[in-house]
Every structure is written in structure tokens, then in C-alpha cells.
Structure 1
Amino acid sequence: MEPKLKLVFADDCVFQQAMMKLLIKRMEIFDLYFTCNDGAELIEKLADAEVLPEICILDLHMPNMGGISTAREIGVRFPEIKIFGYTASADDEEIEDFKRHGASHVFSKTDPAAMLIQIKTILKPVFTR
């Protein structure tokens, strides 16, 4: 069995966290390392982590520290983590700003299962060399 990719998820919505936990549990490629309610909590947990995750999924809009600020901070402090955005926003300018600050892709919240499949497709070749 291949090692699973460690994934962290930050979203201030408890429903989104619960749904993501269920979806990730069904996918054999991912291991949900931890979830957070905002970017500040995520950065704190990453700083204390003995092992860093390979993947981080960030909600664009969160209290305390939103997705753009969090992506920027992760890029500086933990550049080896692959960052993906997750949002209900349809604002193209916001989404492009998210990408400029470190999110390699920004996915819509309308289909989280499809997002995980796309992340698997994007990253699987990178981590199986």
C-alpha cells in the first residue's frame, strides 16, 4: 500500500469540516492530518507540527486570518506545502489574488468531491516518483 498524502483543511464552517472529513476518509490517497477554523490556528499548528503535511486546502474567507494571508504566510514559512484554495466566491479578482499569493488552484465549494479528485490527479504523479 502506498503512503497517504497528509492533508490539512482550514475552514470556519463546521459543516464544511465535517463533510471534508467524510470525503477524505473515503479516498485512499489522503490522510486528514488536522482541520482548523482559520488561518491563524493553521499557522500555529503547522509551526508546532513534527511532520508537515504535503497539502493544504484553505477557505478564502475566514475570520482572524483569511485564505490569502494564510497562503502568503505558508509560502514564506512552509514552502514545501502545496496550497489549494476553496471558496464560494465568484469574484474573479479575489480568486486571482488568492493564486498570486500561493494557491496553485482555487476550487468552488459546490463540489468538494470533484476538488479532491482533481487534487489527487494533480499531485499523484509528483509524490509517486
Structure 2
Amino acid sequence: MSEKIHVVLADDEELFRVGMSYILSRDESIKIDYEASNGQELVAYLAEASQLPNIIVMDIKMPKLNGVEATKRIRLEYPGIGIITLTTYNTKPFIRNMIDVGASAYLVKNSPPEKVIHTLKQVFYNGFYYDNHVMQILNERAASLSIAGEKSVFDENFLTPREKDVLELICKQLTTQEIADTLFISPRTVEVHRKNLLEKTGVKNIAGLVIFAINNDLVPPIIID
């Protein structure tokens, strides 16, 4: 039996939560642990949960504690939880803001169910999932920062050539096994490089690593097929 993906939903629209819970639960690898009606309720649940979820699917606009502030708190206290933003807002400022505060993926509510499930699994297995639209926005921001002279400058030896190879493939959202096959190295070696990259960049997870790489021009612009 495959490993279960434990999910918590946070959205103030009950009808939407019920519908999303039904859609996700149809996949036998996904288990809905809890449904929160706002960010405050979500944070309270996490504080008392005997088992933390793997993924939180969260709206932005919620009463008492919105999705942005809830994401900030959860990233600090529970960095291992993947956060998928699922919202009606689809403008660049909202996308950039949620990615900046720690969202592992960003989807709009009119996304096809199969895309939501695919994104959820990508975040579970790879730590993040940014589709081509989100990647384009991140690449545009990186270019604007470069033009403005605001990007970080590193020594040439900041990353080894192999670390750069691994980092670029991580940003292309390849799995550990796919990176190993591409570079003709073992999965264990990939994990060592991944750990070194996290330590060198000072970020806590793979989503943060991708943002760091793009913002600091450590990888070429990424296009997702």
C-alpha cells in the first residue's frame, strides 16, 4: 500500500471545502485530516495535532487570520509542512507575496481537479511545485532585480559545478531519482548535494532553495513543460 498524503484544508467557504475534500479523497493516496474555516483555527489545530499534516491547502482571504499571515507562522513553526495556496486571486503581487512568505505551490480555484491533485503530489514528493505561469513571474522578478542591481553577488566558488548541476535540475522539478539518472550519480549523492545546497544558501526547504536560486541568478530562467 502506498504512503498516505495527509492533508488539511483551510478555507472560509464551507461549500468549497466540502467539494475539495470530496475531490481529493477520491484519490486513495490522499487523506483529509482536518478542515479549518480560517487561519486562526488552522494554527490552533496544528498546535494540538498528534500528527502534523504533510500538506496544507490554503486560501488567502480568510477571517481572523488570513492565508499570508498563517503561512508566515506555519513556515516558522512547522517548516516541514508543504503549503499550497488555492485562491481566486491570480495577479502577480499575490503570487509573489505568497511564494515569498513560503508557499510551496500556487493555484487558482478554477484549476482542473487533476492539476490540484498533481500539484499536491509534487509538493509531497519534491517539496514544491511551480507551474510555468508562476515560474514566468519569478523569472521576471529576478530579471528586474538584476537590472536594478539588487541581486546578491557571490564568489565564483560559492557552489561547486556539480552543486550547480543539481540545483538547476531541482529547479526544473526533477525527482531525486531523475536527477541521479541525468547526472549518472547515486540518489544518495544527490541528497548530499541537496543538503549542502540548503546549508550554503541558509534556506529551510526545497521551495526556498528554488526561490533563492532564481532571485540570485544561480540558474538560467526555468521553463516548465
What TM-score do you get using the length of structure 2 for normalisation?
0.54
After TM superposition, the runs of 4+ consecutive aligned structure 1 residues lying more than 2 A away are: 121-126
Note the 1:83-122 alignment, pairs <5 A. Answer: 83-111=83-111, 113=113, 114-122=115-123
Give the Å deviation of 1:112: 5.3
Q: Distance in 1 between matches of 2:85 and 2:74?
A: 13
CA contact (8 A) 2:105 2:123 kept: no
Q: Distance in 2 between matches of 1:80 and 1:86?
A: 19
Question: Aligned-pair RMSD on alpha carbons?
Answer: 1.6
Structure whose residues are more often strand by fraction: 1
One-letter amino acid of the counterpart of residue 124, structure 1: Y
Corresponding position of 1:56: 56
Structure whose alpha-carbon radius of gyration is higher: 2
Note the 1:1-129 alignment, pairs <5 A. Answer: 1-111=1-111, 113=113, 114-124=115-125
Give the Å deviation of 1:90: 2.2
Structure whose residues are more often helix by fraction: 2
Q: 1:121 is paired with a residue of what secondary structure? A: helix
Q: Distance in 1 between matches of 2:44 and 2:62?
A: 15
**Structure 1: gaps (5+ residues):** none
Q: Distance in 1 between matches of 2:69 and 2:126?
A: 28
CA contact (8 A) 1:57 1:85 kept: yes
Q: Distance in 2 between matches of 1:112 and 1:77?
A: 31
Higher RCO (Cα < 8 Å, 6 or more apart): 1
Q: Distance in 2 between matches of 1:15 and 1:75?
A: 27
Identity %: 27
What TM-score do you get using the length of structure 1 for normalisation?
0.91
